[in-house]
Amino acid sequence: MRTNEERMLYIVREQFGTEAVSLETKIIADLGADSLDSVEIAMAAEDEFAVILGDDELMRCVTVADVLALVEKTLGACGAAS
């Protein structure tokens, strides 16, 4: 079973077609992402992790690690609500 980190890295690597992605990678500065890329990453993460990510929180994400932290925070909140 893949870890959340591996799953998130896979999403971003597939989106940009490169293996040169780490948790520290800056989505806009390093990968040259535009708003459509950001939306596609968010949608793929929502599908992969079965969560809904808030737009305001997503806008504050700079690195892949930031998106992963948001996903894990949302997963934790979902678990706490159960």
User: In this structure, is residue 13 part of a structural domain?
Assistant: yes
Q: What is the pTM of this model?
A: 0.89
User: In this structure, is residue 82 part of a structural domain?
Assistant: no
User: In this structure, is residue 38 part of a structural domain?
Assistant: yes
Domains: count for the chain: 1
User: In this structure, is residue 79 part of a structural domain?
Assistant: no
Residue range of the domain that includes 16: 4-74
SS3 per-residue string spanning 29-78: CCCCCCHHHHHHHHHHHHHHHCCCCCHHHHHCCCEHHHHHHHHHHHHHHH
Q: How confident is the model at residue 82 (pLDDT cuts 50, 70, 90)?
A: very low
User: In this structure, is residue 80 part of a structural domain?
Assistant: no
Reported as a single tens digit per residue, the pLDDT across 22-74 is 999 999 999 999 989 999 999 999 999 999 998 899 999 999 999 999 999 99
User: In this structure, is residue 81 part of a structural domain?
Assistant: no
Give the active site residue among 30, 34, 47, 55: 34
Confirm whether 30 is a catalytic residue.
no
CATH number reported for the structural domain that contains residue 41 in this entry = 1.10.1200.10
